[in-house]
Structures are given as C-alpha cells and as structure tokens.
A and B are shown apart, each in its own frame.
Chain A
Amino acid sequence: MTTATPPVSAPGRTSGRERGGVPGRLPWPLVIPALIGLAFLVLPLAGLLVRAPWSTLPQRLAEPQVLQALRLSLVTATVATAVCLLLGVPLAWLLARTAFPGRRLIRALVTVPLVLPPVVGGVALLLVLGRRGLIGSWLEAAFGLSLPFTTAGVVVAEAFVAMPFLVISVEGALRAADARFEEAAATLGASRWTVFRRVTLPMIAPGVAAGAVLCWARALGEFGATITFAGNFPGTTQTMPLAVYLALETEPEAAVVLSLVLLSVSVVILAGLRERWVSRI
C-alpha cells in the first residue's frame, strides 16, 4: 500500500469491470451456441461482402443520389433519436416511477410499434397525421402543415418505430436503479426535477445511451413505415433503405453496394461512440 495515493478501495467495492481471478475453462454449452449465434448474425454480412461488385464500387459511391440518401438517413435517424430521447425518457420515467391506473396497459401499448408491421405503422400514421388524418387535417387547416412526403415525415415515421427501443431500455435502467438515491436527494432539498436531472439521469446514463443506440440503429434501417408515411422522393424522403429497396428492383448489385455503405457507416459510428462511452464511464 503506497502512501502517495490515499484513496484505497474498500474490500467488496471493486466494480464488476475490474473482476480478476484465474481464467477458468469456458463452458462449451455457452460457447458453441454463442459461436453459432455470431455466425448467424455475421454470415449474411459476409454474403454481401462476397457479392459486392468491388470494381465498380468507387463510381457507384460517387453517384450523388447515394450520398444524398446517406446524408438524409444519418440526419433523420439522428433527429429521430433526439425526438425519442426528448419524449421517450420522460415516458419511461413516468412508467417506472409513478403509479397511475392503467399503467400496465400503457406499458403494453408502448411496445405496439415493435409488434406492428412497419408498413401498417405507416398507414396508421397516415390515418392520424395524414392529410385526411385525425390530427393531420387539423394541422393542415390551422397551420398549413403537412407531414407526409416531407423530411419531417421521415423523422416522424422513424421515431414512431424506434421509440419503443428507447423507452424499454430506459425503463429497465430506471427500475434497476436504486430509487433510494432519489430519496436521499430529496432530503437534501432537491426538487423532483433536480433529482431527475442531477441524480436519476446520471445514474441511468448507460441505459439511456444503450437505448439511444438501439433507437438510432432502428431508425437508420427503417423502411416500411417511412416509405408508407413519408413516401419516397430523392433528397427529401428517400433514405438509404428505400434506395436499397428500389435498387434491388433493377440493379441488385447497386443494392449490395448501398447496403454495404449503410452498414459500414453505422458500424463505424456505433463503434466510435462505444469507444467514447467506455473510456468515459
């Protein structure tokens, strides 16, 4: 024990990440299914890589439509994630921290977009926010706002489909977090909002981050609800998945290229973010 560094962690307080010990033999009932699972997830990607028309790749990438769709995808997925965070975190808080009648039902309803086929979700969005929709007709009459066929519509469709991922993972984090810390903060004079901001949110940050990543990834790959609700027009509503789908109709090779672009960009971004979080937390 050195005298230069006074803080000495108490026994039993080491975090899980620092778990040491002698590495034992890995149990094969876990390792074999794990490897099969990994192969199952990765092999289709390998299929894309093998089939990719590498020689024409650069010129395909240089097509303005590709970059346009990619940029639109990244922007809309990011904005959709921001919308989900803004609305989803409070919703998760409400579900985890307050008691109100019908909470179980609400929790089940939150997962509806997960179960609903995205195309049906898109139609449902049209029925509510479309030109003749319940809210959409009013929006158009009152503000001249129309969501379908606009970039904002893409964000709406993506947020609709992706939000459950965020809500579920944040709610799980909230339930796992010790609510007594919030009580301790209250005894120190913190209002509920301060408690949320300064205690709850920092403590569930990893859960929120994980939820946001899932949410973003889901938004990035969104196809059905987007094309149904927002339509498909290059530059305004044609995201990468839509471009991929249409390319598949005539030029399967181009579709492979587009898919690879989408995949590699998302992998790079997610791996980069993860690197940051791990070093920060």
Chain B
Amino acid sequence: MNRPVQDRPPHGGLHARLVVERPAFRLDVELEVAAGEVVALLGPNGAGKTTVLRALAGLTGLTGGSITLDGRPLHTLPTEHRRIGMVFQDYLLFPHLSALDNVAFGPRSDGASKAEARRTAGELLERVGLAEYAAVRPGRLSGGQAQRVALARALAVRPRLLLLDEPLAALDAHTRLEIRAQLRRHLADFDGATVLVTHDPLEAMVLADRLIVVEHGSVVQQGTSAEVARRPRTDYVARLVGLNLHRGHGDGAHVKVGELLLSASDHVEGPAFVAFAPAAVALYRSRPDGSPRNLWRARIDGIERHGDNVRVHLDGPITASADVTPAAVADLDLSPGQEIWAAVKATETHAYPA
C-alpha cells in the first residue's frame, strides 16, 4: 500500500490548486497526489471535502487555481473529457440499466462497440466478484453489491484519477468491514491517483497512504496516517484520533499551557502543541509522589462509558479526557464535581512545534 515516493513518474499524478468561492464559503486547497497514491480528505461536515471532489471532476466550476493530471491541464476540460472515475456516496447507479450496462456505460461513451464495452464490463464485474449479477438491475442489489458495481463502473473508463466520495458511508457496519477490505485491495491495484473523501478517520487510515485534513475550506494538516494520528494540529483532528491536544509555548524540555507547565519527551522551542492520550492520564484522590510526571488538580466535569472503559472529562488549568477502568471509577469513587489529581508521564506527553 505504501509505495515508495521515488516511484512517482515525473509530472505524474495530480497537482491541483482549487479555489471555489461561494457566498459565505471559500474553498482554497492545494492537492498533490502521486500516481498510485491514495489520499484521503478528512474533515467535518461542510468543510468542503465534497466540493474538492466535484471541482476535480468538473461538476463545480473553479473560481481560481488549476488542475494538472499526468502533466496535462484538466481544469480547462468539461467533465466528460476529464477521464476520471468517480464513485458517489449513494453510487448513483442508473436504475434503468443492468449492473453490466452500468459498468459498460463508460466504455460505450468512449466509443467502444456494445460487445466490446460489455466484455470490459464483464471482466470488471468479475474482478469485484459480481459476475453472476451482470443482468441484475441496481434496485435489486444490496448496498455492498451496489458499491462494488459503482467502483467497477468508475474503473471501466480506465481513469488516471479516481475520486471516491464517502465510499462506505451508505453501508451498514458489518458490510462496511468487508467492503473496506476489498476496496483497499482494488485501490492497491489501481495505478492512477486516488482521492478519497471521508469523515471516518479509521476508513481514511486503512484506505489511504496520506491524509489531508480540510476544515472551513482550507487544508489544516496533512501527512501519513501515523504522523497525523500522533501529532494532531487542530481540535477536530485531535478528537478524531482520540488525543488530548493543547497549544502552548515551548522552552526546551517544558511547554507552558496557560498556567500549567508540562514536561514532554520532546524538545521544543516557541509555539508548540502538546498531545497525550486519555489512556495515559492517571487519576488520584490524593496527591501522588514518585516518578517525574505532569501533575495537576482537576475537577470532574462528566463521566461516560467509552468502549470497555470509562471516559472522565476533566476541567481545571487545562481541559482533558482520561480513560480509566470501571474498577478504578469504583475504587476512587469518582463523581461529577469532585476535585481530584490528574497525572501524565512526561514520556507519554508529546510536544511538537505549532
């Protein structure tokens, strides 16, 4: 999945700067996607993710910027000449055509004969494991099957750019796992650039080589899954990857967040982020002694179940979440409004420049 970056052909892949201006909304995003690379656009609702896809597809006009695919300008072409494969969130399979004819639609539009287009479509349906559904109308396909037909249909135009809009969102939890694994395989086989839009971080991390986080129409963070997961740069990303995130000022071994001075495992100077996992936070009824750690007095704001554990929301010099076991809740007799001590080891506190 993670292809070496040096495999990238010169000028290959997608280079785009997309500016779309609308009343009360402005999208300004730069995208670089190598051939064979899968990039996930991650962001909250209304961030402009789908607009990015629509702009790449030519379905939404650009106010400014440009799009280059494999060295050729794309933004001057109408949608039908862009040769892109797009999988829509609800698939948009043509209801009046069979699965086979849905997949054959692209090759037919490209001028292939009916027989030729159907042969191509048949092969693709076989690749996605739906050969025996060729004659079935979309209305009679299950969600997972429809998703795979939609993917086959998009691949049938032999695109150099594949766009996937929330490809798994319409599926139930069980089907999603299975289809995600299959989709991952198909994306690995695809040698063009892929841009995937999702609001599910897990989906993004499993399917993509690189994440681009979009908020309010701009890119706020990008990098590999690991980088983004370890070093979130916005509250939204921190929430997605499940980390406590604070912005402060570093002076070497310490980062000052508000009144609180936190020691970190990293050395950082100037504006900095501090991140730590909720599971790294330990709670005490009375002030603990011992190994060097970051310690502060906090007030319990709320307690809720979180998977097998219990998440405790803390107020105080900094707001933070702590994940503790149900047993610990019982032992410590935790309740909202209570004052307690919170501690995080310096080795589990990550600091990085803001």
The answer, yes or no, to whether B94 is at the interface (CB within 8 Å) is yes
List residues of chain B with CB within 8 A of the CB of A269: none
Please tell me if the beta carbons of A199 and B94 are within 8 angstroms of each other in the complex: yes
Partner of B105, one of A9, A10, A15, A185: A185
**Measured CA separation A199–B95 after assembly (Å):** 9
List residues of chain B with CB within 8 A of the CB of A198: 105, 108
Please tell me if the beta carbons of B132 and A181 are within 8 angstroms of each other in the complex: no
The answer, yes or no, to whether B84 is at the interface (CB within 8 Å) is yes
Please tell me if the beta carbons of A187 and B139 are within 8 angstroms of each other in the complex: no
**Measured CA separation A81–B339 after assembly (Å):** 82
**Measured CA separation A192–B83 after assembly (Å):** 15
List residues of chain A with CB within 8 A of the CB of B126: none
Please tell me if the beta carbons of A10 and B79 are within 8 angstroms of each other in the complex: no
Please tell me if the beta carbons of B96 and A203 are within 8 angstroms of each other in the complex: yes
Shortest beta-carbon distance from B152 to chain A in Å: 12
Please tell me if the beta carbons of B105 and A181 are within 8 angstroms of each other in the complex: no
Please tell me if the beta carbons of A185 and B57 are within 8 angstroms of each other in the complex: no
Closest 5 CB pairs of A and B: A188-B106, A186-B79, A190-B109, A184-B92, A189-B109
Partner of B136, one of A7, A180, A185: A7
**Measured CA separation A100–B57 after assembly (Å):** 24
- A191 with B140, Cβ < 8 A, contacts A6-B133, A202-B96, A203-B96 known: no
**Measured CA separation A198–B82 after assembly (Å):** 20
The answer, yes or no, to whether A13 is at the interface (CB within 8 Å) is yes
Please tell me if the beta carbons of B142 and A189 are within 8 angstroms of each other in the complex: no
List residues of chain B with CB within 8 A of the CB of A192: 80
Number of residues on chain B facing chain A (CB within 8 A): 37
Q: Which residue of B lies closest to A178 (CB)?
A: B92
Please tell me if the beta carbons of B157 and A189 are within 8 angstroms of each other in the complex: yes
Shortest beta-carbon distance from B303 to chain A in Å: 37
Q: Which residue of A lies closest to B103 (CB)?
A: A188
Shortest beta-carbon distance from B126 to chain A in Å: 15
List residues of chain A with CB within 8 A of the CB of B97: 202
Please tell me if the beta carbons of B79 and A187 are within 8 angstroms of each other in the complex: yes
List residues of chain B with CB within 8 A of the CB of A7: 133, 136, 140-141
The answer, yes or no, to whether B231 is at the interface (CB within 8 Å) is no
**Measured CA separation A231–B57 after assembly (Å):** 56
The answer, yes or no, to whether A194 is at the interface (CB within 8 Å) is yes
In A170-186, which residues have CB < 8 Å from any B CB?
A: 178, 180-181, 183-186
The answer, yes or no, to whether B181 is at the interface (CB within 8 Å) is no
The answer, yes or no, to whether A31 is at the interface (CB within 8 Å) is no
The answer, yes or no, to whether A268 is at the interface (CB within 8 Å) is no
Shortest beta-carbon distance from A38 to chain B in Å: 33
Please tell me if the beta carbons of A184 and B88 are within 8 angstroms of each other in the complex: yes
Q: Which residue of A lies closest to B137 (CB)?
A: A7
The answer, yes or no, to whether A50 is at the interface (CB within 8 Å) is no
Q: Which residue of A lies closest to B135 (CB)?
A: A7
Please tell me if the beta carbons of B94 and A185 are within 8 angstroms of each other in the complex: yes
Shortest beta-carbon distance from B178 to chain A in Å: 15
Please tell me if the beta carbons of B140 and A9 are within 8 angstroms of each other in the complex: yes
**Measured CA separation A180–B106 after assembly (Å):** 16
In A193-220, which residues have CB < 8 Å from any B CB?
A: 194, 198-199, 202-203, 205
In B144-201, which residues have CB < 8 Å from any A CB?
A: 146, 153-154, 156-157, 163
**What does the 1/0 interface line of A11-28 toward B look like (CB < 8 Å)?**
001010000000000000
Q: Which residue of A8, A190, A202 has the most chain B CB atoms within 10 A of its CB atom? A: A190
Partner of A183, one of B59, B95, B154, B156: B59
The answer, yes or no, to whether B43 is at the interface (CB within 8 Å) is no
Please tell me if the beta carbons of B139 and A188 are within 8 angstroms of each other in the complex: no
The answer, yes or no, to whether B272 is at the interface (CB within 8 Å) is no
Please tell me if the beta carbons of B109 and A188 are within 8 angstroms of each other in the complex: yes
Please tell me if the beta carbons of A190 and B136 are within 8 angstroms of each other in the complex: no
**Measured CA separation A191–B153 after assembly (Å):** 17
Shortest beta-carbon distance from B163 to chain A in Å: 8
**What does the 1/0 interface line of B43-61 toward A look like (CB < 8 Å)?**
0000000000000011100
Can you list 26 pairs linking A and B with CB atoms under 8 Å apart?
Answer: A7-B136, A8-B140, A8-B142, A9-B140, A10-B143, A181-B92, A181-B94, A183-B57, A184-B88, A185-B105, A186-B58, A186-B59, A186-B78, A187-B59, A187-B82, A187-B84, A187-B85, A187-B154, A188-B157, A189-B106, A192-B80, A194-B109, A199-B94, A202-B94, A203-B95, A205-B96
Q: Which residue of B lies closest to A281 (CB)?
A: B96
**Measured CA separation A15–B92 after assembly (Å):** 16
**Measured CA separation A10–B79 after assembly (Å):** 32
**Measured CA separation A13–B96 after assembly (Å):** 15
The answer, yes or no, to whether B86 is at the interface (CB within 8 Å) is yes
Partner of A180, one of B92, B132, B156: B92
**Measured CA separation A97–B105 after assembly (Å):** 22
List residues of chain B with CB within 8 A of the CB of A181: 92, 94
Please tell me if the beta carbons of B139 and A189 are within 8 angstroms of each other in the complex: no
Please tell me if the beta carbons of A10 and B84 are within 8 angstroms of each other in the complex: no
